[in-house]
């Protein structure tokens, strides 16, 4: 009886630990009040084990207090544009202006009172945007500019930096209303995810400053160098759909070759992700399919077009020019006109469909695009359609 109870408690603990870890990986900022409350309880309950695992295997910090649970992740590649911030409502990717407005909004909120109106926030952002070094004109006179600001506010609402008290953002866009927010200071303080604060870095340009706030102290011993490699590999296996051997340097490839089973086993034990190992690399597959911001296949015109384009590229097994992909989707749109949305067959519609499909395939590390040439990557082979096998029906033996 004691053994059975101990096993049951152990299974419950492991299940809770996995749920907490997956919640942090899916959404690195969890608020104690709201839809994340249940997950925050689990993270608090297992904070010690989670903090130890992430520190040892990824180097990511876990911050837990009464208001927020924050996994301070650092991206493997700051130059990767395939997973942009998006408007929570429209899912439109952020433009440069929206990113700048986000930074200005955070700076304003850092100095704001406990509550702020959207109009007051907008006024302060306009003042900040007037800095000539930003190279950006922003006056709120155009509807497009107000829409950009509202997209930023929706992102901050989604992150929990702001909590709506009253009002409506759409009314602000129409210029016939305003909105009032609480400023969640603990979430705001936990949002920055860099080893160094931006104000402590001096640099001549953007790339130099970005490198300055993200660089880590150099490893001085073999143990530290191995630790850094383990951190980089584990981060990429957790964050990227596929880890290709060709993208690793010699030291990383040697370490992965010797420690692959240990690394992937630890990830599986914590998260439930399953390692799929191929000659070209490793992918951690999610049986529950909820740890990704980009899914494939998906329903709808764009989802079907993406699947058809993936099949076409996989069958070609070689780089194809963008024009050829446009031609292919144009013909597919005509073939599936009765199922796709009405404007999919309009002149030029194939250009937008191709662009949307390629963005999804790039985000999933299935293709690589260089200018107007698209090269299929090895993992795309899973979407190739093989020749059908027709099985002849078995002949019935005559009765004797």
Instruction: Please report how the helices 222-239 and 47-57 are oriented relative to each other, as an axis angle in degrees rounded to 10.
Output: 110
Whether residue 46 is found in the same domain as residue 114: no
Whether residue 108 is found in the same domain as residue 180: yes
Exposure of 94 in the CB half-sphere (CA atoms within 13 A): 22
Q: What is the DSSP string of 90-109?
A: T-PBP-HHHHHHHHHHHHHH
Residue 266 contacts residue 57 (beta carbons within 8 Å): yes
Question: Is the residue at 83 inside a domain?
Answer: no
Judged by DSSP in three states, 148 sits in helix
Does the pLDDT value for residue 91 go beyond 70? yes
Indicate the average pLDDT of the chain.
90
Reported as a pLDDT band with limits 50, 70 and 90, residue 391 is: low
Q: Does 389 or 232 have the greater pLDDT score?
A: 232
Instruction: Please report how the helices 96-111 and 118-129 are oriented relative to each other, as an axis angle in degrees rounded to 10.
Output: 110
Whether residue 143 is found in the same domain as residue 100: yes
Closest CA to 156 of 113, 186, 126, 188: 188
pLDDT in tens, 106-155: 999 999 999 999 999 999 999 999 998 888 889 999 999 999 999 999 99
Question: Is the residue at 254 inside a domain?
Answer: yes
Whether residue 233 is found in the same domain as residue 273: yes
Whether residue 134 is found in the same domain as residue 174: yes
Does the pLDDT value for residue 204 go beyond 80? no
pLDDT at residue 316 in the model: 92
Reported as a pLDDT band with limits 50, 70 and 90, residue 398 is: low
Residue with tokens 């129409």: 174
Sign of the Cα pseudo-torsion (152, 153, 158, 160, in order): positive
Residue 271 contacts residue 21 (beta carbons within 8 Å): yes
pLDDT in tens, 343-372: 999 999 999 999 999 999 999 999 999 999
pLDDT at residue 386 in the model: 57
Question: Is the residue at 361 inside a domain?
Answer: yes
Reported as a pLDDT band with limits 50, 70 and 90, residue 169 is: very high
Whether residue 130 is found in the same domain as residue 186: yes
Does the pLDDT value for residue 3 go beyond 80? no
Residue 150 contacts residue 171 (beta carbons within 8 Å): no
Residue with tokens 């340097």: 249
By residue range, what is the domain housing residue 136? 96-190
- Listed in sequence order, the DSSP H helices in 130-249 are 143-159, 169-174, 185-190, 206-214, 222-239
Q: Does 113 or 4 have the greater pLDDT score?
A: 113
Question: Is the residue at 85 inside a domain?
Answer: no
Q: Residue 112 and residue 124: Cα distance in Å, rounded?
A: 10
Whether residue 263 is found in the same domain as residue 310: no
The CATH number that applies at residue 139 is 1.10.10
Residue with tokens 């597959």: 285
Torsion of CA 207, 208, 213, 215, to 10 degrees: 100
Question: Is the residue at 323 inside a domain?
Answer: yes
- Provide φ and ψ at 244, rounded to 5°: -90, 140
- Provide φ and ψ at 80, rounded to 5°: -80, 115
Question: Is the residue at 360 inside a domain?
Answer: yes
Reported as a pLDDT band with limits 50, 70 and 90, residue 390 is: low
Count of Cβ atoms closer than 10 Å to residue 15 Cβ = 12
Does the pLDDT value for residue 388 go beyond 70? no
Does the pLDDT value for residue 397 go beyond 70? no
How many structural domains compose the chain? 4
Does the pLDDT value for residue 5 go beyond 70? no
Length of the chain: 400
- Listed in sequence order, the DSSP H helices in the chain are 2-26, 37-45, 47-57, 96-111, 118-129, 143-159, 169-174, 185-190, 206-214, 222-239, 250-271, 300-316, 322-335, 349-363
Does the pLDDT value for residue 219 go beyond 60? yes
pTM exceeds 0.85 for this model: yes
Whether residue 148 is found in the same domain as residue 184: yes
Whether residue 305 is found in the same domain as residue 377: yes
Question: Is the residue at 129 inside a domain?
Answer: yes
123 Cβ partners below 8 Å, 6+ apart?
none
| Average of per-residue pLDDT across 293-320 | 90
Does the pLDDT value for residue 400 go beyond 90? no
Whether residue 278 is found in the same domain as residue 304: no
Reported as a pLDDT band with limits 50, 70 and 90, residue 384 is: confident
pLDDT in tens, 28-37: 999 998 888 9
Residue 68 contacts residue 30 (beta carbons within 8 Å): yes
Question: Is the residue at 357 inside a domain?
Answer: yes
């Amino acid at each position: 009886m004691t053994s059975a109870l101990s096993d049951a408690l152990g299974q419950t603990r492991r299940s809770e630990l996995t749920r907490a870890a997956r919640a942090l990986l899916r959404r690195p900022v969890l608020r104690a009040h709201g839809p994340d409350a249940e997950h925050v309880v689990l993270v608090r309950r297992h904070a010690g084990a989670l903090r130890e695992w992430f520190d040892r295997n990824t180097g990511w910090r876990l911050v837990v207090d009464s208001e927020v649970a924050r996994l301070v992740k650092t991206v493997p590649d700051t130059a990767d544009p395939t997973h942009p911030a998006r408007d929570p409502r429209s899912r439109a990717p952020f433009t440069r202006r929206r990113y700048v407005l986000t930074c200005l909004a955070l700076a304003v909120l850092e100095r704001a009172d406990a509550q702020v109106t959207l109009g007051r926030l907008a006024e302060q952002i306009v003042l900040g945007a007037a800095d000539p070094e930003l190279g950006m004109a922003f006056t709120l006179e155009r509807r497009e500019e107000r829409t950009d600001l509202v997209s930023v506010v929706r992102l901050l609402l989604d992150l929990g930096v702001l909590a709506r008290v009253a009002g409506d953002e759409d009314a602000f866009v129409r210029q016939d209303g305003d909105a009032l927010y609480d400023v969640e200071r603990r979430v705001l303080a936990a949002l920055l995810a860099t080893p160094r604060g931006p104000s402590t870095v001096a640099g001549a340009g953007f790339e130099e400053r970005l490198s300055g706030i993200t660089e880590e102290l150099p490893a001085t011993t073999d143990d530290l160098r191995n630790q850094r490699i383990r951190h980089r590999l584990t981060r990429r296996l957790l964050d990227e759909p596929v880890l290709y051997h060709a993208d690793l340097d010699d030291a990383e490839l040697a370490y992965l070759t010797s420690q692959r089973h240990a690394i992937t086993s630890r990830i599986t034990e914590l998260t439930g992700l399953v390692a799929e190992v191929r000659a070209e690399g490793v992918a951690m597959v999610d049986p529950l399919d909820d740890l990704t911001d980009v899914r494939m296949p998906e329903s709808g015109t764009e989802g079907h077009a993406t699947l058809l384009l993936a099949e076409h590229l996989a069958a070609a097994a070689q780089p194809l020019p963008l024009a050829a992909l446009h031609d292919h989707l144009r013909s597919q749109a005509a073939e599936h006109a009765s199922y796709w949305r009405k404007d999919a067959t309009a002149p030029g519609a194939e250009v937008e469909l191709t662009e949307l499909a390629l963005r999804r395939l790039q985000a999933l590390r299935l293709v690589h695009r260089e200018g107007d040439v698209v090269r299929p990557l090895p993992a795309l082979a899973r979407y190739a359609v093989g020749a059908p096998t027709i099985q002849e029906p078995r002949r019935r033996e005559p009765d004797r």
